[in-house]
Amino acid sequence: MTDPTPDDGRIETAENAIELREVEGKSQGQIVRSRFLRHKGAMTGLIVMAFILVLALTSIGFPVFTDSWYISGWWAYGPNETNPIVNPGGTPTLTMPWSPEGFAIGPHPFGQDEIGHDIFARVMRGVQTSLLVMFVVGLVSTAVGVLVGALSGFFRGWADTALMRMTDLVITVPTIVIGAVLGKLFGGADPLPLAIALGAVTWTGLARLVRGDFLSLREREFVDAARVAGASNSRIIFKHILPNAIGVIIVSTTLLMSSAILLETALSYLGFGITPPNVSLGQLINQYQSSFNTRPWLFWWPGLFIIAIALCVNFIGDGLRDAFDPRQRRIPSARKMARAAARGEAEVQAHAS
């Protein structure tokens, strides 16, 4: 084993100087926000996700609470409207700049099916449905997982045993099987009951992570100080321990949301999720699976948006993990390293003189 060289010491000193300068005078929230905004993958995912959300909501409109109050969009066709088929076979009217026809969007850029449905409108409605399921599943799973994990890790004893055995019972049954049963019971035309039902069974991983964090945090000095000061158990849980576990919770929630949209897609593809007249991305793939060889564009667009949404959520989750984890260190650029080293040498010479 070799001793560290002086160059290694100067590099480490320069890295520490850069890191200290970046966090100097900032609160914990500002440090996390700064780290997240510097994560290129997370920012790219956030921008693309925002674009997909705005496009889906503004293009065909969306209902507010009930179908009787509907905000219209700028797209001319609805997801369930039948229209005259423009191109032979319903091929997309969207053409690229390098094609002989030149760039053109046309009335049906994503194409049409055999009865004249506009695929762009149906894909946008599918995106709305899948995003609704994703957000509701994430919200319900987070609430249940945090509650079970917090109570189990804080009180331990019989509460820990009972809650963890219940968690193990849910884990033993495959999620796709539970989702299929719940999808058959609560799915159909309304995605909200399905999302709530799926959220009620996908919280187990988060509960275990929160339990582990609470078991560690409850032994810290600041918890003992809160007990000595007379703080109640609920105040210790929500005011002292939970804020310190928020990083694990946020990162796990993004992973839950990513898996939720894939689970909904799988259930709808198998026929256990969203059913007509509502539309989801998985249901579109299931509905047009017989046309895979003859009209592949019916699969391109739903599949593309499924992949894009899942990747965006994963990239955002990676950025949040790096932002909340203080052990994640960003490697500075060569220019920053050189500047920090020169600044350090100048300070040493100034002190020496």
> Residues 183, 176: contact at Cβ < 8 Å?
no
For the stretch 211-255, pLDDT in tens is: 999 998 888 888 889 888 888 888 898 888 888 888 888 888 888
For the stretch 7-48, pLDDT in tens is: 555 555 544 554 555 555 566 677 778 888 888 999 999 999
Q: How many other CB atoms are found less than 10 A from the CB of residue 185?
A: 12
As a whole number of angstroms, the distance between CA 138 and CA 250 comes to 10
As a whole number of angstroms, the distance between CA 329 and CA 27 comes to 18
Residue of 295, 294, 265, 267 whose CA lies nearest to 282: 265
As a whole number of angstroms, the distance between CA 81 and CA 212 comes to 52
Name 71's bridge partners: 62
Backbone angles phi, psi at 268, to 5 degrees: -65, -35
Q: How many other CB atoms are found less than 10 A from the CB of residue 52?
A: 17
As a whole number of angstroms, the distance between CA 171 and CA 148 comes to 14
Angle at 97 between CA 96 and CA 100, to 5 degrees: 85
Burial per residue of 259-298, b for 16 or more beta-carbon CB atoms within 10 angstroms, e otherwise: bbbbbbbbbbbebbbbbeebbbbbbbbbbbeebeeebebb
- What pLDDT was estimated at residue 142? 93
pTM of the model: 0.80
Q: Which residues contact 290 (CB under 8 A, 6 or more apart)?
A: none
For the stretch 80-111, pLDDT in tens is: 888 888 888 888 888 877 777 778 888 889 98
The pLDDT mean for the chain works out to 81
As a whole number of angstroms, the distance between CA 106 and CA 103 comes to 10
